[in-house]
Amino acid sequence: MTKISVAKGDGIGQEIMDAVLRIFDAAQVNLDYEFVEMGKEFFLQGYTSGMTPQAKESIESNCILFKGPMETPKGKGMKSINVTARKTWSTYANRRHFQSLKGVDTVYSKAGIPIDITIVRENIEDTYGGIEHMNSNDVAVCRRFITRKGSEQVHRFAFELARKEGFKKVACGHKANIMKLTDGLFLETFYQVAKDYPEIEASDIIVDDLCMKLVSMPERFQVVVLPNLQGDIVSDLCAGLVGGLGFAPSSNIGDNICIFEAVHGTAPDIAGKNIANPTSLLLSGLMMLRHLGHGDKAAAIENALLYTLEQGIHTGDFGDKSIPSSNTTEFADAIIKNLGKSPLESEPRKAGTAGKAWAKPQLPTSRIMMASPRTEKEVLIGSDLFIDSEKSADEVAAIIENRLPAKFKLQMISNRGTQVWPTGSVLTECVNHHRCRIVCHDETGETNTTEIWQMIQIISNELFVTSMEMLRNFGEKQGYSLAQGQ
């Protein structure tokens, strides 16, 4: 029997997990549950990752975690346990499925517009690296990582999913028109991976346009893959299309460990009242059953759920207000009673993956380095120095130009990304954080790290260099962005 780790979570977690496991038992789901200690209480007991070493061991041994929502204590500098779990175990793809359900009225269901959208959100990189610094008293900076290998992983997952589930289209949402290097890399790898799936229509769409079209014509989308932060926002938008977070299941998929969880949080306002809606966690559990090859059980439970919803049975957060709401226990009981029934107003679910047994992955024994071969010539041509100073750009420029070794020249200064020196508008409002682009005199010329660090040391005698970035070219490709107006 497959053993999985189960963490009930905080707030409503216990209530909804108990309801879901009761439904699983009634449907004779054949899994062995190992309950693990994770969540708020364990942070407060001093486990800085929010889980006990036994919990970590269990999850790394079973490779499957079914979890309820969890709370990370606020204001104590602790990192979100949910994000830590996803990142530590490299669950690079967050899959969320949004579908119209009979009995869950929305403006779209009333207008007869069916919704069946899968959002695949990159789950590890982007601003979720959480690498932030105060670069001056006034300026906070967050480093945003998009990597070729991380992007390839999530795109391949999206296309594989489309192929397996019979979707015809995958779209990539992005903001590559603004973030040409980061989102540009995400988009470039999307089309590279798409070449391996010629039967699937690959397209891309700028994220703001995507949001507008998701709201105005959601039926046009099947699978949409996005970077982490944009994916986070867009998936909540999609939750709104189908009646809220209570109906959105989610799985976090990696090559080794997979985590299945509801999209919503711990709902502290209703915790302990036995009124929470367990549907999102139940649907996430069904994703898990399908992943583990128990497609027959997943279909049977989903059909019972759909039938129950069609009957108008609902918890207090949705449904026909003229029908009294059920509490969590009653809602689960109704689903259990309806096991064996199929929905009348929608297509019954089929077993799909039944019979394909899940095999526990062979775990790596050392950390994997994901890297592409370096085929392009890499040339260091200078450095961007970020200066913390209230001086004007002209004053900063004068100081730098006075002291720069002959090898280098100051090419431009930008403030908040807009060029303010040597030319710019007097109307560009500035803050005490100047980006000073210093390059070799001959722009095709090359420098080295020793010359750069010596140059920084000289500038540092006069100005506070709060951070720096190397300017490199990779073959024909410039490895840095231009300033607005440059």
Q: Which is nearer to ligand NAI, 199 or 269 (CB)?
A: 269
- Residue whose beta carbon is closest to ligand NAI: 265
Residues 430 and 415: their CA atoms lie apart, in Å, by 6
Residues 442 and 425: their CA atoms lie apart, in Å, by 27
Does 270 interact with ligand NAI (rule: CB under 6 A)? yes
Is residue 248 within 8 A of residue 255, CB to CB? The reply is: no
Q: Which is nearer to ligand NAI, 14 or 432 (CB)?
A: 14
In whole angstroms, the minimum distance from the beta carbon of 377 to ligand NAI comes to: 45
In whole angstroms, the minimum distance from the beta carbon of 278 to ligand NAI comes to: 7
Q: Which is nearer to ligand NAI, 277 or 303 (CB)?
A: 277
Does 261 interact with ligand NAI (rule: CB under 6 A)? yes
In whole angstroms, the minimum distance from the beta carbon of 141 to ligand NAI comes to: 24
User: Among the candidate windows 93-101, 275-283, 441-449, 468-476, which touches ligand NAI by CB under 6 A?
Assistant: 275-283
User: Among the candidate windows 94-102, 258-266, 319-327, 419-427, which touches ligand NAI by CB under 6 A?
Assistant: 258-266
State which of residues 277, 303, 414, 447 lies at the interface with ligand NAI (CB under 6 A): 277
The owner of tokens 């711990």 is 266
State which of residues 243, 246, 285, 293 lies at the interface with ligand NAI (CB under 6 A): 246
User: Binding residues for ligand NAI, how many (CB under 6 A)?
Assistant: 21
Does 266 interact with ligand NAI (rule: CB under 6 A)? yes
279-308 residues in contact with ligand NAI (CB under 6 A) are 280
Contacts of 48 (CB under 8 A, 6+ apart): 78
Q: What is the DSSP string of 192-248?
A: HHHTT-TTSEEEEEEHHHHHHHHHH-GGG-SEEEE-HHHHHHHHHHHHHHTTSGGG-
Nearest to 225 by CA among 207, 239, 208: 207
State which of residues 21, 38, 69, 248 lies at the interface with ligand NAI (CB under 6 A): 69
Distances in Å between the alpha carbon of 412 and those of 101, 382, 455, 478? Answer: 56, 12, 16, 16
In whole angstroms, the minimum distance from the beta carbon of 67 to ligand NAI comes to: 7
Burial class (CB in 10 A: 0-12, 13-18, 19+), 416: middle
315-344 residues in contact with ligand NAI (CB under 6 A) are 317
Q: Which is nearer to ligand NAI, 56 or 96 (CB)?
A: 96
In whole angstroms, the minimum distance from the beta carbon of 139 to ligand NAI comes to: 27
State which of residues 269, 347, 427, 448 lies at the interface with ligand NAI (CB under 6 A): 269
User: Among the candidate windows 261-269, 350-358, 397-405, 465-473, which touches ligand NAI by CB under 6 A?
Assistant: 261-269
Would you state the structure tokens that stand for residue 413, as one six-digit string? Answer: 């200064």
In whole angstroms, the minimum distance from the beta carbon of 336 to ligand NAI comes to: 18
Instruction: Identify any residues that bridge with 201 across adjacent strands, giving them in sequence order.
Output: 169
State which of residues 31, 104, 267, 436 lies at the interface with ligand NAI (CB under 6 A): 267
In whole angstroms, the minimum distance from the beta carbon of 269 to ligand NAI comes to: 5
The owner of tokens 């489309």 is 162
Interface characters, 71-110, with ligand NAI (x: CB under 6 A)? xx---------x----------------------------
Distances in Å between the alpha carbon of 385 and those of 13, 307, 443, 471? Answer: 48, 63, 17, 10
Is residue 65 within 8 A of residue 259, CB to CB? The reply is: yes
Distances in Å between the alpha carbon of 1 and those of 125, 246, 351? Answer: 35, 30, 19
Instruction: Identify any residues that bridge with 253 across adjacent strands, giving them in sequence order.
Output: 93, 258
In this structure, the chain runs to a length of 486
16-45 residues in contact with ligand NAI (CB under 6 A) are 16
Contacts of 404 (CB under 8 A, 6+ apart): 410, 438, 455, 458, 459
State which of residues 70, 146, 214, 410 lies at the interface with ligand NAI (CB under 6 A): 70
Q: Applying CB under 6 A, which residues contact ligand NAI?
A: 12, 16, 69-72, 82, 245-246, 261, 264-270, 276-277, 280, 317
